[in-house]
Chain A
Amino acid sequence: EAQVTQNPRYLITVTGKKLTVTCSQNMNHEYMSWYRQDPGLGLRQIYYSMNVEVTDKGDVPEGYKVSRKEKRNFPLILESPSPNQTSLYFCASSRTGGETQYFGPGTRLLVL
């Protein structure tokens, strides 16, 4: 089954404790992306990757890091999480940029 998976689905952490949210797709897609969804703000792009070893900032990259060492994986790293990063995070992938994206189920993060 073609899918995008994210782990964990729910995470509660404390300010400053480094965390990683994993994202994996099995569709051999070149393009992967991370979004956060906040009330009244819709989906805002954090980082995206057009291909392996190619990443670029989205609209709200501050406080986040990503890496794309393999085509299928695109982890999101919060080196020092802060409460304003409490949000719902989605990973997505598509064949190329600008095409229909397929979203993961989301990761709900609470930073205390």
Chain B
Amino acid sequence: DQQVKQNSPSLSVQEGRISILNCDYTNSMFDYFLWYKKYPAEGPTFLISISSIKDKNEDGRFTVFLNKSAKHLSLHIVPSQPGDSAVYFCAASVIYTPLVFGKGTRLSVIA
């Protein structure tokens, strides 16, 4: 039973355009959500997070939106750059319990 789902295994976007990565979850108890970015041959690195009391969090070009009623979150990257090409993992947790990860979405930003 997959509690965190990333239904798009891959996404291609033109440089300069917006990238939108989506994530759905089933556990309504989740109260903390994160996005990780992973380059080949490296460990995942934390990108941005949002707690369930918010519906939006911004950090530079990256914005995460949380829609609790739809159990959906998304990561927006504007403008997309070739260096953003990576695998993006969505993760969620209930406090003091392990993070649950999605399967990842591979983003390719085309110059």
Contact = CB atoms under 8 A, between A and B. Distances in A.
A100 interface: yes
Contacts of B36: 103
Given A100-B46, A106-B41, A106-B42, A45 B96 contact: no
Interface stretch (B53-61, B64-72, B77-85, B87-95): B87-95
B99 interface: yes
Contacts of A33: 98
B107 to A, nearest CB: 15
B44 A98 contact: no
A101 interface: yes
Interface of B is mostly: loop
24 contacts: A4-B43, A33-B98, A40-B103, A42-B6, A42-B89, A42-B101, A42-B102, A43-B89, A44-B101, A45-B98, A50-B96, A58-B98, A90-B43, A96-B95, A98-B93, A99-B32, A100-B46, A100-B49, A101-B46, A103-B36, A103-B45, A104-B43, A105-B43, A106-B41
Contacts of A41: 103
A103 B34 CA distance: 14
Nearest to A102: B46
Interface in A5-53: 33, 35, 40-45, 48, 50
B16 to A, nearest CB: 29
Nearest to A31: B98
List 5 tightest A-B contacts by C-beta distance, closest first. Answer: A42-B103, A103-B43, A98-B93, A43-B101, A98-B95
Interface in B1-34: 6, 9, 32, 34
B42 A48 contact: no
A97 interface: yes
A105 B41 CA distance: 7
A103 B91 CA distance: 14
Contacts of A106: 41-43
Contact of A90 (B9, B44, B95): B44
Interface in A75-112: 90, 92, 96-106
Nearest to B46: A100
